[in-house]
């Protein structure tokens, strides 16, 4: 690793990139071919993506307005305005690994935010999550609108159904926005196998997540496979490969970017598992110990079971099988995870994957600025707090 590549991550990367921030004015970023030079490249890219998405949703929402359901359009516009734009960032960096900055490529990358909106909207319904990014989840807001409109029937049922349909619309619009981005058809033709693979992996991973229960104590390999499909590949590896394939990168570059993306994607998900236990609700926008409350079979919980001695394992089983966990029990659960060494084991796994990602970058013949950006993002994904 060169000295430049091993330097500390800039404040711009570590703060603005990895948490939703108050949006100043994305309008100034419209139709720009963003570069990755300069200290504010990541926030500039995020603002440009948000502006592109805002324009597209504002145009497409007329279909909802015509149906007399403008509340869904309002909700979607707000929903897509606060993301970190991580997937779009990786897809655009994939493009820059083989082509010059392009407003069309940025628009294509921004389409992944609609795919992500689809995933989040339906994930919250499946998990019965009441919050997303510190605000009421979409299905909760839609149920409230239904109730306040004085309509008959179950408001909760309506909210869940409407959020699911809104997610379906986002899935359709994501591909439509990609096709209409301005990227040449022959370039788009290169990406469809990976794009389809990404969507299938996401759905299969979600199936695995639904069927996963910590009471069954799956193996760590099984847990990581579900996480890899549902989150890791979909967050980093596939977007990066799609952007690079669209740019015309050769097979060697695609393979090395895939190695980097797989490692960073796993580090991202492992950090997510730690945040699901120890994250601050004020930062993550999710309940404290949410994964423990939902009895999710995450890498953290499964590792704790495997590392625990007999007394600790019996206590873990008792907590897992409790009907409800109060604050005292949650604190006990977290303490057991720490004392078994599970939290540190996951931290070590994260560090190892960042090292693998950086090694893959060392073997890439791409622009130095793009290489530095990917290195910074590998660290940011691993050290994020939200």
How confident is the model over 236-270, as pLDDT tens digits?
999 999 999 999 999 999 999 999 999 999 999 99
Q: Which pLDDT does position 7 carry in this prediction? A: 43
**CB neighbour class for 103 (10 Å; exposed up to 12, middle 13-18, buried from 19):** middle
What is the rounded average pLDDT of the residues 304-308?
94
Question: Which of 10, 14, 79, 92 has the alpha carbon at shortest distance from 49?
Answer: 92
DSSP string, 105-152: HHHHHHTHHHHHHHHHHHHHHHHT-SEETTEE-HHHHHHHHHHHTT-S
What is the rounded average pLDDT of the residues 73-83?
91
Place of tokens 């009421």: 136
Structure-token pair, residue 139: 């299905």
**Residue 12 above 80 pLDDT?**
no
What residues have CB less than 8 Å from 251, skipping those under 6 apart? none
How confident is the model over 17-38, as pLDDT tens digits?
444 444 444 444 555 678 887 7
Task: Give the span between the Cα atoms of 385 and 43, in whole angstroms.
Answer: 17
- Where do the domains of the chain lie? 11-383
**Residue 211 above 80 pLDDT?**
no
pLDDT band at 226 (very low <50, low <70, confident <90, very high): confident
Query: Topology of domain 11-383, per CATH?
Result: Farnesyl Diphosphate Synthase (1.10.600)
Task: Give the span between the Cα atoms of 70 and 147, in whole angstroms.
Answer: 16
């Amino acid at each position: 690793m060169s000295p430049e590549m091993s330097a500390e991550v800039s404040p711009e990367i570590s703060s603005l990139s990895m948490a939703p921030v108050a949006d100043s004015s994305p309008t100034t970023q419209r139709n720009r071919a963003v570069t990755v030079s300069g200290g504010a490249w990541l926030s500039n890219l995020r603002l440009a993506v948000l502006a592109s998405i805002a324009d597209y949703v504002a145009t497409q929402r007329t279909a909802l307005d015509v149906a007399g359901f403008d509340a869904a359009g309002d909700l979607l516009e707000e929903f897509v305005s606060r993301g970190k734009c991580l997937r779009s960032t990786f897809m655009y960096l994939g493009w820059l690994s083989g082509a010059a900055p392009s407003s069309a490529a940025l628009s294509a990358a921004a389409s992944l935010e609609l795919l992500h909106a689809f995933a989040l909207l339906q994930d919250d319904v499946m998990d019965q999550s009441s919050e997303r990014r510190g605000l009421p989840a979409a299905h909760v807001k839609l149920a409230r609108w239904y109730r306040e409109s004085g309509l008959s029937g179950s408001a909760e049922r309506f909210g869940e159904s409407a959020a699911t349909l809104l997610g379906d619309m986002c899935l359709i619009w994501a591909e439509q926005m990609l096709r209409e981005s301005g990227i040449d058809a022959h370039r788009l033709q290169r990406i469809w196998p990976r794009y389809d693979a990404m969507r299938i992996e996401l759905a299969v991973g979600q199936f695995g997540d639904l069927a996963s229960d910590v009471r069954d104590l799956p193996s760590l390999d099984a847990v990581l496979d579900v996480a890899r499909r549902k989150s890791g590949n979909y967050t980093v590896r596939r977007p990066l490969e799609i952007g690079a394939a669209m740019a015309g990168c050769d097979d060697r570059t695609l393979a090395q970017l895939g190695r980097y993306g797989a490692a960073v994607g796993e580090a991202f998900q492992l950090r997510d598992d730690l945040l699901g236990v120890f994250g601050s609700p004020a930062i993550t926008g999710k309940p404290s110990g949410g994964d423990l409350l939902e009895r999710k079979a995450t890498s953290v919980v499964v590792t704790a079971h495997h590392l625990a001695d007999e007394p600790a394992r019996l206590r873990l089983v008792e907590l897992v099988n409790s009907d409800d966990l109060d604050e005292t029990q949650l604190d006990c659960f977290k303490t057991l995870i720490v004392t078994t060494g599970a939290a540190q084991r996951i931290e070590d796994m994260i560090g190892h994957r960042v090292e693998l990602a950086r090694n893959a970058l060392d073997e890439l013949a791409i622009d130095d600025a793009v290489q530095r950006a990917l290195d910074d993002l590998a660290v940011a994904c691993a050290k994020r707090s939200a």
